[in-house]
Structure 1
């Protein structure tokens, strides 16, 4: 299985997808128009090891809701991601039983290596 969770309005997501040259072999899910289900998130968590690894601290709502000052639990991370799509660190690529989370150079390089 090859799947990518992304935002079609995010320039960084679009740049990474273009840079990797991926196409129809991937199932694309725009998380703004097609919400992540609890089952999908649980599957990602099983591969990532935690919900925290999937959680974006750079989302605008992170500051707006004052989450920096709070001690968040795994359930909190899960619920925030399910409530608000911007809390998912993106893009998230699933390739077979591997997960690649976010847009860091290290992650994009690992993804390139996996695809080549």
Structure 2
């Protein structure tokens, strides 16, 4: 099952979704309305190899909780990812067993190419 984990209230996510190729057949998962489970996070971890790769250091809570001044471990990143949706670097696509994390132009181009080949 090809999935996008996103935030419906995020303008960047909405813009990316609107530009997706037609007939993409993605399952949409709004992480605010339906928080990610530990099982889903573990799947993302298996594909990415790191909780830190899934973690958004741009999140306002990252700064306000003083996390930027701490040496976080992989278990810390996992804990925070499960505690609050804002820590997930968005959007996250899982397409044909590959993971695409974040909204960089290069990443979104890879997503478009992957969706065209599905």
TM score, norm. by length of structure 1:
0.96
The yes-or-no answer on 1:9 pairing with 2:9 is yes
Q: Give 2:111's aligned residue.
A: 111
Name the CA shift for 1:52/1:34 in 2 (closer, same or farther; >3 Å): same
Equivalents in 1 of 2:112, 2:24: separation in Å? 17
Q: Segments of 4+ in structure 1 off by > 2 A?
A: 21-24
Q: Give 2:68's aligned residue.
A: 68
Secondary structure, aligned partner of 2:108: helix
Equivalents in 1 of 2:3, 2:22: separation in Å? 11
Q: Structure 1 residue 15: deviation in Å?
A: 0.5
Equivalents in 2 of 1:20, 1:100: separation in Å? 14
Identify which range, 102-111 or 13-22, moves more after superposition.
Answer: 13-22
Equivalents in 1 of 2:102, 2:13: separation in Å? 9
Q: Structure 1 residue 21: deviation in Å?
A: 3.1
Equivalents in 1 of 2:102, 2:24: separation in Å? 21
- What is the 5 A alignment of 1:1-116? 1-21=1-21, 25-116=25-116
1:57-114: CA deviation from partner (whole Å, max 9, x where unpaired): 0000000000111000000000001001000000000112100000001101111111
Unaligned segments of structure 2, at least 5 residues: none
Secondary structure, aligned partner of 1:57: coil
1:27-70: CA deviation from partner (whole Å, max 9, x where unpaired): 11100010100000000000001000000000000000001110
Name the count of aligned residue pairs: 116
